[in-house]
């Protein structure tokens, strides 16, 4: 278990600034996620922690020790690669034993530990198999065993589940989380799959263009995003435009003028002091919307239903607002009749669920 401390990392590759002043502290034993669109720098950041890249500026500490210039093989980090990077010329056992051999562990111990590691990932008895004889899920477990058998002090995972089918992916999410917690590993996990991040992470960071947009727990990021970008990356987000009218009795709730009338919205960033008349975004999640009887006093707006998508556990509607904006509305566990396309609706949202974000 070790803390990972990144201080002001910057890296330029060719003309592109792939990391831009990234600072981040990951606590011992934490399962930390890096998430963002492709090309955002999340894998680059991971490769800095692994030691395959050296930053142009900035420092990397493992606990109190600076490791910025250390080569990968001294860092004691297990790594899982996107395509597993299992060596095709070695069988399962030899793949797993590799790191122990490099550490000059006695042969007898190697045999025991490899066996134990394979048992842990439920691959006992498959040690003599060739890599090409394994299924995708099994290869994945070998990669995990290979990374864990050296008892690393941290585990780095680069989109490890992206090549698995949906069912296996769900299974492995639990498995990886269980194992990192059982080993007490500090783990950094890169993915672009938001469900994976939300369901597994202790904390996570959203990245874009080499910068950290926001760091926090999954619940934090989902409910209190600092920007529309973060909100949209973490989940489905509707966006309305408006102008600030002024504060209300609640210091975090503001009145906002919109094309659909006056709405009450919550400010998520404490330090931001919006001016009256300022243009702002209003973000609301599809599942935070509910239908109601039209009433001008409520926190709501009218719309016309244009499309219905029935998904069983939920229904997704697309609703056209009067200024031409299309929003998504989701009803969980729908009962009774579905709304019909073309129907006029009145939609309401709790003022705590309508987030006011800086433009």
Partner 1 sequence: MKPFVGGVILIIMILFMGFFFLLPLSGTFRMAFMGPQGGWTLDYLFEIFRNPLYLEGLRNAFIIAIFSTLGCLFLAVPLALIFVRHEFLGKAQFNGLLLVPLILPPFVGALGIQAMLGQAGALNSLLIDWGVLSKDAPIDWLGRGQLIGVIIMNVLHLYPIVYLNLSGSLANIDPQWDDAANSLGCPPFRRFWRITLPLAMPGLYAGCSIAFIWAFTELGVPLIFDVDRVTSVQIFSAIKDLNNNPLPYALVVVLLGLTLLLFFGSRAFFRSDVAGGEGKATLGRPIIPLTGWRGWLATGFFAGVVAIALLPHIGVFLMALSKDWYGTVLPQQWTLEPLERALGHPLTLTAIGNSLRYALLATILDLVLGVAVAWLLVRTKLFGRSLVDGLTMMPLAVPGIVMAFGYLALSRSGQPLDWLIKGEDPLMLLVVAYAMRRLPYVVRSVTAGLQQVHPALEEAAESLGATPIRALWRVTFPLVMPAVIAGGLLAFAFAMLEVSDSMILAQRTIHFPITKAIYTLAAALGDGPSLASALGLWAMLFLTVTFVGTGAILGRKIGALFKV
Residues near partner 1 (CB under 8 A) are: 50-52, 71-79, 81-83, 85-89, 98-99, 102-103, 146-147, 150, 156
If the CB atoms of residues 152 and 274 are measured against partner 1, the closer one turns out to be: 152
Strand partners, 60: 6
Question: How many CB atoms are closer than 10 A to CB 276?
Answer: 11
If the CB atoms of residues 163 and 298 are measured against partner 1, the closer one turns out to be: 163
CA–CA gap between residue 353 and residue 173 (Å, rounded): 29
In the bound complex, what is the minimum distance in angstroms from residue 274's beta carbon to partner 1?
47
If the CB atoms of residues 60 and 147 are measured against partner 1, the closer one turns out to be: 147
If the CB atoms of residues 150 and 263 are measured against partner 1, the closer one turns out to be: 150
If the CB atoms of residues 89 and 167 are measured against partner 1, the closer one turns out to be: 89
Contact 280, 256 (CB under 8 A): yes
> Tokens 């989902």 label which residue?
222
Its sign, for the CA torsion 149, 153, 156, 160, is positive
Contact 329, 273 (CB under 8 A): no
Question: How many CB atoms are closer than 10 A to CB 203?
Answer: 17
Question: How many CB atoms are closer than 10 A to CB 127?
Answer: 18
If the CB atoms of residues 82 and 269 are measured against partner 1, the closer one turns out to be: 82
In the bound complex, what is the minimum distance in angstroms from residue 98's beta carbon to partner 1?
6
Helix (H) or strand (E) holding 46: helix 42-50
In the bound complex, what is the minimum distance in angstroms from residue 6's beta carbon to partner 1?
18
If the CB atoms of residues 23 and 83 are measured against partner 1, the closer one turns out to be: 83
In the bound complex, what is the minimum distance in angstroms from residue 88's beta carbon to partner 1?
7
In the bound complex, what is the minimum distance in angstroms from residue 194's beta carbon to partner 1?
25
In the bound complex, what is the minimum distance in angstroms from residue 331's beta carbon to partner 1?
40
Helix (H) or strand (E) holding 230: helix 228-234
If the CB atoms of residues 127 and 225 are measured against partner 1, the closer one turns out to be: 127
If the CB atoms of residues 74 and 340 are measured against partner 1, the closer one turns out to be: 74
> Tokens 């243009």 label which residue?
279
In the bound complex, what is the minimum distance in angstroms from residue 110's beta carbon to partner 1?
13
CA–CA gap between residue 23 and residue 38 (Å, rounded): 20
CA–CA gap between residue 55 and residue 57 (Å, rounded): 5
Distances (CA, A) of 120 to 114, 142, 239: 10, 10, 46
Pairing of strands 4-13, 186-191: unpaired
What is residue 133's DSSP assignment?
Answer: G
Candidates 220, 206, 212, 265; CA nearest to 241 is 265
Which pairs with CB-CB distance under 8 Å and at least 24 residues apart come from 116-124?
A: 116/149, 117/145, 117/146, 117/148, 117/149, 118/92, 118/93, 118/142, 118/145, 120/145, 120/148, 120/179, 121/145, 121/148, 121/175, 121/179, 123/92
If the CB atoms of residues 87 and 272 are measured against partner 1, the closer one turns out to be: 87
In the bound complex, what is the minimum distance in angstroms from residue 47's beta carbon to partner 1?
8
Name the token pair of 244: 């600030």
In the bound complex, what is the minimum distance in angstroms from residue 30's beta carbon to partner 1?
20
> Tokens 């194992």 label which residue?
179
In the bound complex, what is the minimum distance in angstroms from residue 82's beta carbon to partner 1?
8
């Amino acid at each position: 278990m070790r803390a990972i401390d990144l201080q002001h990392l910057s890296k330029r590759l060719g003309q592109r600034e792939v990391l831009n002043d990234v600072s981040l502290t990951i606590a011992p034993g934490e399962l930390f996620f890096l998430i963002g669109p492709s090309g955002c720098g999340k894998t680059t950041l991971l490769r800095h922690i692994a030691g395959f890249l050296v930053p142009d500026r900035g420092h990397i500490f493992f606990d109190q020790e600076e490791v910025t210039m250390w080569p990968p093989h001294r860092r004691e980090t297990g790594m899982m690669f996107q395509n597993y990077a299992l060596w095709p010329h070695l069988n399962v056992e030899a793949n797993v034993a590799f790191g122990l051999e490099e550490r000059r562990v006695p042969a007898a111990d190697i045999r025991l530990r490899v066996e134990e590691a394979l048992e842990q990932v439920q691959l006992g008895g498959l040690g003599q198999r060739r890599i090409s004889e394994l299924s995708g899920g099994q290869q994945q477990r070998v990669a995990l065993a290979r990374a864990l058998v050296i008892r690393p002090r941290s585990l780095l995972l680069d989109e490890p589940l992206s090549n698995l089918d949906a069912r296996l992916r769900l299974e492995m999410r639990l498995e990886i989380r269980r194992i990192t917690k059982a080993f007490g590993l500090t783990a950094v996990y890169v993915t672009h799959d938001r469900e994976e991040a939300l369901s597994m992470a202790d904390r996570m960071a959203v990245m874009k263009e080499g910068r950290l947009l926001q760091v926090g727990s999954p619940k934090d990021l989902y409910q209190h995003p600092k920007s529309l970008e973060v909100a949209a990356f973490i989940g489905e987000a509707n966006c309305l435009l408006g102008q600030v009218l002024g504060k209300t009795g609640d210091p975090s709730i503001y009145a906002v003028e919109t094309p659909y009338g006056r709405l009450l919205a919550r400010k998520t960033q404490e330090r931001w002091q919006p001016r009256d008349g300022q243009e702002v975004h209003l973000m609301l999640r599809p599942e935070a919307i509910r239908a109601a009887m039209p009433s001008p006093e409520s926190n709501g707006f009218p719309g016309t239903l244009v499309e219905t998508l029935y998904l069983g556990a939920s229904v997704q509607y697309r609703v056209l607002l009067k200024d031409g904006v299309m929003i998504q509305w989701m009803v969980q566990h729908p009962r009774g009749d579905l709304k019909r396309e073309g129907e006029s609706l009145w939609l309401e949202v709790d003022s705590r669920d309508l987030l006011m974000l800086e433009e």
